[in-house]
Structure 1
Amino acid sequence: MGAQGCWGLVVILGFLLQAQVLVSQNLTCNFKDLTALQYFMGNLTMKPEGWTMDSSTDCCGWEGITCEPQSAGRVIKLELPKKRLSGKLSDALAALDQLKTLNLSHNFLKDSLPLSLFRMPNLEQLDLSNNDFSGQIPESINLHSIRSFDISSNHFNGSLPSHICVNSSRIRFLDMAVNYFSGDVLSGLGKCSFLEELNLGTDDLNGGVTEDIFQLQNLKVLGLQYNNLGGKLSPGIANLSNLVRFDISSNNFSGEIPDVFGQLKSFQFLVAHSNRFSGRIPSTVSNSPTISLLNLRNNSLEGFIYLNCSAMVALNSLDLATNKFTGPVPDNLPLCRQLRNANLARNNFSGQIPESFREFHSLSYLSVSNSSLRNISSALQILQQCRT
């Protein structure tokens, strides 16, 4: 084909592409979906900008609406975050049976959620976080396509809806934090075998943690912080082979921390402050080459502090304050080459700041207050040398 023929082909393809774009921009909203959206709008105290009750309007052009060209203008996305919406959700939303994304986060929506919302067959992403919703989550949840479910920062109460995984097993992201869910973490969450992130922090959960959570081998983030969970921490953590972040801070866990973290090859963040742990720092923690943040503040850990800084090449932040550690301040900490922040305050150390801290060039912050150290003037002279 000559140069002229190739140029002609490019022109034809350009016209076809332009025509396709024009078609997608001139979709006609499905009448059933238009009616559902207008009912939704009718329950709001202030309608979204550009929305109207006119039955001849094309809702595919409304703010926050995405329609699917291949399905006769069916609405597949409803996204209105941070629009200062107030009012409550209408049952009519369930008529959007092709909807894949519903994002109404960071608004002022209130009252309980309609049962029909939990029976939308094609819904993949649900984000209702940071609103004023309340009430209990229904026992019957049938969201077969759901991948991301976020109802955090609301006022939901009752039992934690662990049953969500029975008919919604494909969830990858599940966030129910900052609500008023109470009682035990019941079994059921283990059925969400694809789950990568589970956030249950800042609720009113108490009792123990169901063992089936520790069957979630794809889990990367597990947040249980700021609850009233207690008992011994299960060694089943070792089964979470892809875990990166584990936060159980501000609970009532007790006993020794299981020495099982060596099996977690991607583990970076251990946040377990403000519990009642005793014993020593587990050797699989103090020899971890992947941990970058270690926070065990405000427990009852004891003995000498031993960290293998030759192995802990990623450690950046260390907080061991308010424990019962004894002996000298570890003189090998400068060998943790990435360590910038170290809080060792309120322990029972003996001696003084080690001379080796003159070479602690990575250090930006150090606290050893109320730790029984002597010769403060000497410590200040040593720490003055901590500069790059």
Structure 2
Amino acid sequence: MGTIPKWIGGLHQLSYIFLNDNQFHGELPGTFCLETSKLIDVSHNYLSGHIDYDIFTSNGINCNARNAYDDPQRDLEFVTKTRLYTYQGKPLYLINGLDFSSNSFTGEIPPQIGHLGDTNTLNFSYNLFIGHIPTTITNLSHIESLDLSHNDLSGVIPTQLKELNSLSSFNVAYNNLSGRCPKRIGQFATFNEDIYWGNPLLVNCSSSQSTRKPPVKQTPTDDDDDEDGCYIDMGSFYASSGVSFVMVLLTIASVLYINPYWRQVWFYYVGVTITTCYYFVVDHLPVPTRYKVWELRV
């Protein structure tokens, strides 16, 4: 809760910064030294504002050289390739990543992001970024996971992205992108068309490998039955229940009208039930005081 303190950005020898799943708001401190930080996760907060260009370039910041690698004291969880993985020990030394997802960052994605040459994972999804996808992302020759989905990005998808031979997870769904989708060569030949969904102005995105249809967005309500991934139309449910109840009553009435013997048995059991209920109430419920006094006087 509150804002991220600026002094955190001054700890230039930090290798792992995990501030995710809190209630931080405000802007991201502009003093982060990403060139010496291996993993930074500020996802699932309420951060907003523009991302300072300086955090990608260390301009005006005295970034010390990274210390010799030390194993962290606990497991670290980080989202890569759309899944949450747990890293421990030496594998942590082999990955670099940024997760700014599920916030309210605005403005353009800084082109200086291309200076983070060792980055393996970039997750900027579920924000309010605008503008074009920076072509400098192609400088990230080691990137394996790139998620820019659910923003307001526009323009074309840079064709240079096909040069990212290590890219194994890519998603730009639900933006305002236009033009042609990248040709299905290299790593892009392994992606399904669902990574482009939600961009109605994109063309030539079909994939012979993908036979799934785009999901239909539905607004959940309190009457939805989410247990099996579906929902119930309560209006139709009430109407069908009412019609069924009326049909049962009509069926009973018709049978009793047609068959006198069943009608006699029916009313006999109705009378027995009413009499039984009456004597049960009289025998088991307490008698009011006024009734007892009146009974004694009599």
- TM interval, shorter chain, is 0.5 to 0.7
Structure 2 counterpart of 1:231, from 152, 155, 161: 155
Match among 12, 15, 21 for residue 130 of structure 1: 21
Contact 2:165/2:186 (8 A) holds in 1: yes
Do residues 203 (structure 1) and 127 (structure 2) align?
yes
1:240 matched to 2:131 = no
Assess if the C-alpha contact under 8 Å between 1:122 and 1:144 holds in 2: no
Say if 1:123 and 1:143, in contact at 8 Å, map to a contact too. no
Partner residue in 2 for 1:80: none
User: 1:135-172: CA deviations, max 9, x gaps?
Assistant: 11122323553100000011111112453222379981
Give the letter for the 1:185 counterpart: I
Question: Structure 1 CA distance, aligned partners of 2:100 and 2:202?
Answer: 30
Alpha carbons of structure 1 residues 280 and 182: separation in structure 2 relative to 1, 3 Å: same
**How far apart in 1 are the matches of 2:192 and 2:7?**
39
Normalising by structure 2, what TM-score? Answer: 0.55
> Are 1:176 and 2:100 matched, yes or no?
yes
Corresponding residue of 2:292 = none
Confirm or deny: 8 A CA contact 1:124 1:148 kept in the other structure.
yes
Count of residue pairs brought into register by the alignment: 182
Q: Displacement of 1:111 after TM fit?
A: 1.0
Q: Please name the residue that 1:185 is paired with.
A: 109
Distance in structure 2 (CA, Å) of the matches to 1:248 and 1:162: 22
CA contact (8 A) 1:242 1:265 kept: no
Partners of 2:137 and 2:115 lie apart in 1 by 9
What are the equivalent positions in structure 2 for 1:1-388 lying under 5 Å apart? 110-142=1-33, 144-167=35-58, 172-259=96-183, 261-264=184-187, 267-268=190-191, 271-281=195-205, 286=207, 307=208, 315=209, 318-321=211-214
Q: Distance in 1 between matches of 2:198 and 2:35?
A: 38
Please give the per-residue CA displacement for 1:70-122, whole angstroms capped at 9, x wherever unaligned. xxxxxxxxxxxxxxxxxxxxxxxxxxxxxxxxxxxxxxxx1111111012132
Q: Which amino acid aligns with 1:233?
A: I
Do the aligned residues in 1 keep the contact of 2:197 with 2:214 (CA within 8 Å)? no
Identical amino acids, percent of aligned pairs: 23
Aligned-partner Cα distance in 1 for 2:129–2:199: 15
Q: Which amino acid aligns with 2:42?
A: I
Taking the aligned partners of 1:265 and 1:254, their CA distance within structure 2 comes to 17
| Deviation, structure 1 residue 264 | 2.0
Going from structure 1 to structure 2, the CA distance change for 1:147 and 1:228 (only over 3 Å counts) comes to: same
Asked if the contact 1:122–1:143 (Cα under 8 Å) also holds between the matched residues in 2, the reply is: no
1:157, 1:179 within 8 Å by CA — same for their partners in 2?
Answer: yes
Letter of the 1:122 partner, please give it. Answer: Q
Question: Relative CO higher for 1 or 2, CA cutoff 8 Å, sep ≥ 6?
Answer: 2
Q: Is the 8 A contact 1:232 1:256 kept in 2?
A: yes
What is the letter of the counterpart of residue 280 of structure 1?
N
Q: CA deviation at 1:265?
A: 7.8
CA 1:189–1:269: 2 relative to 1, 3 Å = farther
**How far apart, in 1, do the equivalents of 2:147 and 2:196 lie?**
11
**Distance between the aligned counterparts of 2:131 and 2:33, measured in 1?**
28
User: C-alpha distance in 1, partners of 2:24/2:128?
Assistant: 17
1:240 Cα deviation from its structure 2 partner: 1.4
**Bigger fraction of residues in strand:** 1
Structure 1's unaligned 5+ residue stretches are 1-109, 287-306, 308-314, 323-342, 344-388
Distance 1:144 1:240, change over 3 A: closer
Would you say the 8 A contact 2:108–2:130 is kept in 1? yes
Distance 1:115 1:321 in 2: 43
Alpha carbons 1:134, 1:156 under 8 Å: kept: yes
Once residues 188 and 182 of structure 2 are traced to their aligned partners in structure 1, the CA distance between those partners, rounded to angstroms, is 16
CA distance in structure 1 between the aligned counterparts of 2:192 and 2:38, rounded to whole angstroms: 25
Contact conserved, 2:42 with 2:99, CA < 8 A, in 1? yes
Q: How much has 1:267 moved relative to structure 2?
A: 4.3
Structure with more of its chain in helix, by fraction: 2
SS at match of 2:129: strand
Deviations 1:327-363 (A, max 9, x none): xxxxxxxxxxxxxxxx9xxxxxxxxxxxxxxxxxxxx
1:157–1:265 distance in 2 versus 1, CA, 3 Å: closer
Distance in structure 2 (CA, Å) of the matches to 1:228 and 1:116:
32
Gaps (5+ residues) in structure 2? 67-94, 217-298
